[in-house]
Amino acid sequence: MLDPYQANLYDIWSKVDNVPQSDDYDMEGYFNDVILKGKDQSSINPSDNRMHYPDTYKLPNHPTFSAQSKYYKKSMPYRDWIGNLLVDFNSGKIVSDENDVMNMFKLDR
């Protein structure tokens, strides 16, 4: 939770940097833990040429939620990245293939 001063800084940062807002990523947590410490872990993903942020702050409802998230619990399905593939280790299925941008969130392999 951001205090009022941090919330004001967050609003400025998110507007100036055109930061996407969604209900499946803890962008305030990323801002508090990373940006306010003078770091930036975002990068342009060469697969889709869009800004991407680390899995650390993905919420369980994110399409590519993985065990790298700080919100991951051992009772959840174990999904993790092998290169550009997000694999569900419980089922053995590929959940996401970042090399296949057109079908990134529609895989059922």
Instruction: Give tens-digit pLDDT for 40-68.
Output: 999 988 877 888 999 999 999 999 999 99
CA 2 remoteness from chain centre: 19
The structure's pTM equals 0.83
- 72-103 tens-digit pLDDT: 999 999 999 998 899 999 999 999 988 765 45
Residues 29 and 45: their CA atoms lie apart, in Å, by: 21
Residues 95 and 107: their CA atoms lie apart, in Å, by: 6
pLDDT at 104 over 80: no
Are residues 53 and 41 in contact, defined by beta-carbon separation less than 8 angstroms?
A: yes
Strand partners, 82: 85
